[in-house]
Structures are given as C-alpha cells and as structure tokens.
C-alpha cells in the first residue's frame, strides 16, 4: 500500500561527518525512562521523521533537541558544536509547534520578526527577511492580520515562516500538520516538503501519522517505549522491518511465530503451528536451529486461490471469514484451521482475469506466497 | 418549559420578585435623595439640597478622597504582587513548600476579616514598640491591610488566566531567542493583561468598601468613606448619605455600562474576523478538493 511513497534517499553523502549527532541520549522522569539511549546521525538537508505512537518518547526527544528538556545523559552535537546543555534561546535550531504557538497579540509580521528582533538585527534587514518569509509562504497580503483572523492552513504557514526566519541550522517540527483536518493535510504535506526543500533546511519532524512520515521524510526512525527501533528510508522500513513492532506499526502484516527447523545457506524452513505448515524462505538467515522467530508476510503478498497451489510450502487452507470490498481491491480475512486469521489484499481484476467468481463468505480457499517474500524477524 | 424560549408565569413571577428584591431598595434610595424633608421616610417634595450640603461637608469630601487614594494605591500594589504570585503559582515547577505558599496566598480571602484586621493591628502595635515604625495608624497601615487582601484576589485571577494560556507560546518565544525576563514582559504580560485589569478593578472595589479591616487599621484623622457612612447611619439615617449613595451608583453604573459596551464591541469585531477567516478556510479546502488528491492507497 505504501510503495507510492517510496522516495530516493537523498542522504547519499553518508561519507561526510553527520550534521547532527545524537549519542546515547537518555531522559528519565523519576523512574520512568522516557528516552532510552538513543543514537542517531542526521545528514545535512535531510528531512527526518520520528514516528511512533503517543507516549513513545518522540516528543521528549524533540524537546531535548530544542533544549526545553535537559537530557539525563548523552550528547547532542550539531555541526561540530556540542549543544547538549545550551539553553533554548542560544541554540541555532528553531521549532514549529503543534499548536503553532503564534503570539495572539502580534500581527503576522510581528510574529515572524520576533526571533529577528531578539537577535537585534538592524531594522532594514528584519524587514527584508520578514518580506522574504512572507513571500516564501505566500502570505504577503496577510502581513498586518492577527493570527485569529487566519484560517488553520494560513496559521500553519505563519508558524513555518516564523521558525525559518532566523535561518536555523536545523528545524524541528512537532506534529507539523496535526492540527489540520484530513483533507487539508494531504495537500499541505507536499506543499510543506516543497517549501522545506526550497529553503534547504535540515529537519527533524515528529509524527504519529505513518502516511505523513512516509510522504514527507527522506528517512524515518521508528520509536517505541523510548527506544529507536529502526532507522531507514520509507521503503527500507516497509520492506525490511527489523522487528515485530515495526512490521506491525508500518502498514499491515501477517505474523507467524515458529521455529527454524532447516537452516542452510540457500534456504530456511520454519515450522509454524499457526500456519499448520512449513514456511520456506529462499535465502539463509544467521541463527541457530530451533530458534524462535516470527515470519512477516504483507497482505498484498498473500495470494488467494480456490484450488490448492502447486508447491507444498508457504500455503494453507482456510475459510473466508470476512471481506472488505474497497473498489479496486478487496481485503480477505481467511481463517485457518489453527484459528489464525490471515489477511490478503486481492486486486479486483484478479478474478475476471482468471475468469473466476470471487470467493464469498464461508468459501474454502488457499492462501500462499512466494518464498522470496516473507521477512524473518528475530525480535 | 425549557428551550421553547418562553417562561411560565411562575418562573416570570420568581424572576420579577428577585429583581424587585435587588433593585427596589436602590431605587428608593435614589428617589429619597431628592427628598426635601429631613426625615428619610417621609416625602416632603423635590429638592437637591442634600447634594449641595454634601459637597460642603468637609468630613465626607476628605473621606472620599482618602478612600480613593487608598483604593488606587492598594490596587496598584496588589496588581504587582498578585501578578508575580499568580505567575509563580501557575508556571513554576513544584518547589519545596509550594502547597504552603499557595495556601497562604489565598488565606486572606477565606480568613474572617475580623481576624486579619486584629492580627495586623497587633503586628503594627508591636512593630511600633520595637522599631518605631509605623509611627501612627493611618494611610500606610490601611494600605498594607488592603493590599494583603486584594493581592490574594489578583493572584487567583491571574493564575487561572495563566493556566488557560497555551504554555507553548512561552516555549516558542524562548525557542526564538527570548530570555525569561523578556518572555515575561513581551509575551506573558500582554496575554494576561485583561486578567490584570479585572484584578485591578476588583481591588479598587474591594478596597473602597472594606470596613472591617479598615476599622482596625485606621487611626484618628484617617477615616475612610465606608467608616463615615457607617458612623452617620448609626446616629440616624441621613438624607446626605442617600445623595452620596446615588452619586456612587451613578459613577459605578456608568463605568460598568461603558466597560460592557467596549468589551462587546471588541468581541463583535473579533467574531466577525473569525467568521471571515472561517470562510477563507472553507475556500481553501474547496480548492484542495479540486486538485488531484494525493493518496498513498
């Protein structure tokens, strides 16, 4: 479902020193470990998304980068400068807040100029920069308005302009589009990315919306319970999740627990009681025989047939329990003999191409998949 | 009965009784202030003689001036101290003794005034014995007493306003390079200015009609307006007091009406602007609906 969002990794210049280095960052609130030894390197001009559900520590991590929370231990190095203990007002980073935090008693112009006035820039330069920012977000004719006289989308653009006005080395975005309604959000996502790329600022954004992260970011970091579980491009994270949490959090997947019974360089066989069959994978994994593993197979990789497939592996019989018809495709929920429900995404064209009636509720069907598609997870 | 926009005769009756109970005494007071007779309860024809005798009464004039001075001075002091206290209560992380501080801040509001007055009197007397200051009871001691009381109210009003304000506004100011002092004066203070203004007006009202605390803290030669009225009424009702009360009602009424009008006007302007922004917002989303939707499905 997510391939459309695949982006070329712009962070190709990995040989350079990372622009932002986060090393062993920890934040404790009492006994509660909110951020648990996070290490992360970010290249210049990257748009990096921290993705996780609420309470996973992503916002705390962002607030530590902005200087609003003091890390319990660890280091943050930005462009060669250790900023770990720097006060927020001394950091060359700016933040765009989820609620936008526009100053209600100041006009759009004054809001954008606020940071520049704090830096005591000459008046002419402040005016020039404010105008430049207003043009960037196309709000020139709203310069004299107060924030409450603007629509949600316009407020978001003012907030962006204000956080970019000081030309920060790094922009932090806290749920940048969280306050917009869904229709407006999709349009704004690409608009925001275009603006950020035009400015060329390095960004870290925090979001709980995987679609937003995959559309906007060049790389994504998945967070859960304070830990950074996986970092990669959207396609890497979707196609090669490294743990059960990522596999289930990004998109949908079918997970089968099992034990490795055959482990050879070119094939692995996994005995899964839930599938009632062996899972065959056409490449080796490194792990001892008998190891507990989980096999993840995406619904779009699961093939649905009325007749048993030719290969004995990677297949099972079940009954159609539920069908969600979504127009161009349907999601079939197939209940196996073990009681496990397998989801399969079937394109609507599949049935008339094969000249078959689509299976309906209660029909016996077979699920199967190619042996190069499953991903074996060890944690 | 509810929601159909009409009230039953019973509810109307109760409403009328309530209003009568509240406003008939004030009305009769105004009417009798124009009474020619010296007797308060007997109508002797129309006259404004009590108004002219009021303005010739030095005792009353000096009491009005003293009350006004004290009200203004204690409102100013209460606003400064109360705002700072409210800020600490709303914004500082829990510190050692913060609950005690919060409790002590609001104590003057719930403590019987007799006790506050008496304890302050005892304090001032022993201070006078040991340090020689304050040398006498009067303006200064009343001012201190009123400030203590008003400050509690201001801190409550300011604190609740501060709790309403999105704290990320202050975070944003800090993020943009403002230091804490600057944030307080450039962001926090303008945002709570309405609360401070209402705290100021509240303080003036409280100070103007405070009698109990004042009675303990005033000395010879410093008599406030409520004290004068109270002592006059004890000697028998006096038409001059009616005239004074009428002027007070007039002044207070005018201020309330003007303030209300200004506030309603501002609100209406704001509502209009918000409605305009909403319309712009709708136009925005219609635009986006016209463009090809960006979908990941």
Domain edges within chain A: 3-248, 252-371
B126 pLDDT above the threshold of 90:
yes
Q: Evaluate whether residue B211 is within a structural domain.
A: yes
Which member of B179, B187, B289 has the closest CB to residue A89?
Answer: B179
pLDDT in the model for residue B185: 92
Number of domains observed in the structure of chain B = 1
| Other CB atoms within 10 Å distance of the CB of residue B158 | 25
B224 pLDDT above the threshold of 80:
yes
In angstroms, what CA-CA distances link B27 with B14, B24, B32, B252? Answer: 19, 5, 9, 15
pLDDT in the model for residue A130: 92
Instruction: Assign domain A3-248 one CATH number from 3.40.50.300, 1.10.260.40, 3.40.920.10, 3.20.20.70.
Output: 3.40.50.300
What's the per-residue H, E or C state across chain B? CCCCCCCCHHHHHHHHHHHHHHHHHHHHHHHHHCECCCCCCCCCCECCHHHHHHHHCHHHHHHHHHHHHHHHHHHHHHHHHHHHHHHHHHHCCCCCCHHHHHHHHHHHHHCCHHHHHHHHHHHHHHHHHHHCCCCCCCHHHHHHHHHHHHHHHHHHHHHHHHHHCCCHHHHHHHHCCCCHHHHHHHHHHHHCHHHHHHHHHHHHHHHHCCCHHHHHHCCCCCCCHHHHHHHHHHCCCCHHHHHHHHHHHHHHHHHHHHHHHHHHHHHHHHHHHHHHHHHHHHHHHHHHHHCCCCCCC
Q: Evaluate whether residue B95 is within a structural domain.
A: yes
Domain enclosing residue B130, as ranges? 58-265
Q: Evaluate whether residue B161 is within a structural domain.
A: yes
Write out chain A residues lying below 8 Å of B177, CB-based: 89-90, 115, 118-119, 166
Q: Is the ipTM of this complex over 0.85?
A: no
The owner of tokens 């201070």 is B127
Q: Quick one: tokens of B128?
A: 């006078």
Question: What are the tens digits of pLDDT across the range A350-359?
Answer: 878 877 788 8
Whether A115 sits inside 8 A of B176 (CB atoms) is yes
Q: Is A225 exposed, middle or buried (0-12, 13-18, 19+ CB in 10 A)?
A: middle
**CA neighbor of A207 nearest in space, from A191, A185, A238:** A185
Whether B175 sits inside 8 A of A66 (CB atoms) is yes
Cα gap A242→A254, rounded to integer Å = 15
How confident is the model over A59-74, as a mean pLDDT?
A: 89
A159 pLDDT above the threshold of 90:
yes
Which member of B169, B277, B297 has the closest CB to residue A103?
Answer: B169
* CATH code of residue B99: 1.10.3720.10
> Do A3-248 and A252-371 share a fold?
no
pTM of the entire predicted model? 0.77
Cα gap A163→A157, rounded to integer Å = 10
Shortest Cα distance from B281 to chain A (angstroms)?
5
In B, minimum Cα distance to A159 occurs at B172
B212 pLDDT above the threshold of 80:
yes
Question: What are the tens digits of pLDDT across the range A92-106?
Answer: 999 999 889 999 999
Shortest Cα distance from B268 to chain A (angstroms)?
13
Q: Do residues A95 and A66 make contact, with C-beta atoms less than 8 angstroms apart?
A: yes
Which CATH code fits A252-371?
2.40.50.140
Shortest Cα distance from B50 to chain A (angstroms)?
49
Shortest Cα distance from B79 to chain A (angstroms)?
21
Whether A118 sits inside 8 A of B296 (CB atoms) is no
Instruction: Among A107-116, B192-201, B264-273, name the one with the lowest average pLDDT.
Output: B264-273
pLDDT in the model for residue A173: 92
How confident is the model over A250-277, as a mean pLDDT?
A: 81
Instruction: Among A54-58, A116-120, A354-358, name the one with the lowest average pLDDT.
Output: A354-358
A4 pLDDT above the threshold of 60:
no
Residue with the bigger pLDDT between B286 and A119: it is A119
A15 pLDDT above the threshold of 70:
no
Which member of B175, B284, B293 has the closest CB to residue A186?
Answer: B293
pLDDT in the model for residue B295: 38
Q: Measured at the alpha carbon of residue A280, what is the angle toward residues A276 and A284, in degrees to the nearest 5?
A: 140
Give A315's strand partners. Answer: A368
Which member of B166, B177, B280 has the closest CB to residue A118?
Answer: B177
Q: Evaluate whether residue B295 is within a structural domain.
A: no
């Amino acid at each position: 479902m997510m391939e459309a969002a695949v982006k070329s990794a712009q962070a190709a210049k990995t040989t350079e020193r990372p622009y932002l280095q986060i090393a062993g960052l920890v934040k404790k609130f009492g006994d509660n470990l909110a951020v648990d030894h996070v290490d992360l390197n970010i290249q210049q001009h990257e748009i990096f998304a921290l993705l996780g559900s609420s309470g996973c520590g992503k916002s705390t991590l962002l607030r530590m980068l902005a200087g609003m929370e003091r890390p319990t231990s660890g280091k943050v190095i930005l462009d060669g400068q250790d900023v770990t203990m720097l006060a927020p007002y001394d950091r060359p980073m700016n933040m765009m807040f989820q609620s936008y935090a526009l100053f209600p008693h100041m006009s759009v112009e004054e809001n954008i100029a606020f940071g520049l006035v704090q830096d005591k820039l000459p008046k002419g330069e402040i005016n020039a920069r404010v105008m430049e920012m207003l043009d960037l977000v196309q709000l020139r004719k709203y310069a004299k308005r107060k924030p409450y006289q603007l629509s949600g989308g316009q407020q978001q653009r003012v907030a962006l302009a204000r956080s970019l006005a000081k030309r920060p080395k790094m922009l932090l975005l806290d749920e940048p589009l969280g306050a917009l309604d869904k229709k407006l959000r999709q349009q704004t996502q690409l608009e925001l990315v275009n603006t950020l790329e035009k400015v060329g600022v390095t960004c870290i954004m925090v979001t709980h919306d995987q679609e937003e992260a995959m559309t906007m970011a060049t790389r994504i970091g998945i967070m859960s319970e304070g830990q950074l579980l996986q970092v990669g491009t959207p396609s890497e994270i979707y196609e090669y999740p490294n743990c059960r949490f990522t596999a289930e959090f990004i998109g949908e997947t079918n997970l089968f627990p099992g034990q490795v019974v055959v482990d050879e360089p070119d094939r692995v066989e996994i005995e899964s009681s839930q599938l009632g069959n062996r899972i065959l994978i056409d490449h080796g994994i490194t792990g001892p025989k008998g190891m507990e593993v989980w096999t993840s197979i995406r619904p779009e990789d699961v093939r649905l047939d009325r007749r048993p497939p030719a290969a004995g592996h990677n297949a099972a019989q079940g009954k159609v329990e539920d069908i969600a018809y979504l127009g161009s495709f349907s999601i079939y929920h197939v209940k196996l003999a073990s009681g496990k429900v397998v989801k399969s995404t079937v394109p609507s064209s599949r049935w008339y191409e094969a000249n078959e009636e689509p299976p309906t509720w209660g029909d016996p069907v077979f699920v199967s998949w190619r042996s190069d598609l499953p991903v074996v997870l060890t944690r | 009965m509810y929601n159909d926009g009409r009230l039953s005769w019973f509810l109307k009756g109760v409403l009328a009784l309530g209003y009568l109970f509240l406003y008939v005494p004030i009305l009769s007071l105004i009417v009798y202030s124009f009474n020619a007779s010296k007797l308060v309860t007997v109508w002797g024809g129309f006259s404004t003689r009590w108004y002219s005798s009021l303005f010739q009464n030095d005792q009353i004039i000096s009491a009005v001036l003293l009350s006004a001075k004290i009200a203004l001075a204690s409102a100013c002091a209460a606003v400064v101290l109360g705002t700072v206290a409210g800020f600490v209560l709303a914004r500082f992380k829990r510190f050692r003794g913060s609950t005690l501080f919060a409790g002590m801040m609001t104590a003057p509001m719930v403590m019987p005034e007799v006790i506050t007055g008496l304890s302050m009197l005892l304090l001032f007397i022993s201070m006078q014995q040991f340090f020689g200051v304050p040398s006498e009871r009067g303006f200064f001691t009343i001012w201190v007493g009123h400030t203590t009381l008003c400050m509690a109210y201001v801190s409550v009003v300011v604190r609740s306003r501060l709790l309403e304000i999105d704290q990320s506004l202050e975070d944003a100011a800090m993020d943009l390079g403002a230091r804490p002092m600057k944030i307080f004066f450039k962001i926090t203070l303008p945002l709570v200015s309405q609360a401070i203004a209402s705290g100021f007006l509240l303080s003036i009202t409280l100070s103007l009609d405070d009698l109990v605390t004042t009675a303990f803290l005033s000395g010879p030669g410093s008599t406030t307006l409520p004290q004068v009225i109270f002592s006059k009424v004890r000697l028998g009702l006096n038409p001059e007091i009616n005239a004074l009360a009428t002027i007070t009602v007039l002044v207070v009424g005018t201020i309330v009406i003007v303030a209300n009008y200004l506030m309603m006007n501002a609100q209406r302007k704001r509502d209009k602007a918000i409605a305009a922004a909403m319309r712009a917002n709708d136009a925005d989303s219609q635009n986006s609906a016209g463009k090809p939707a960006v979908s990941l499905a």
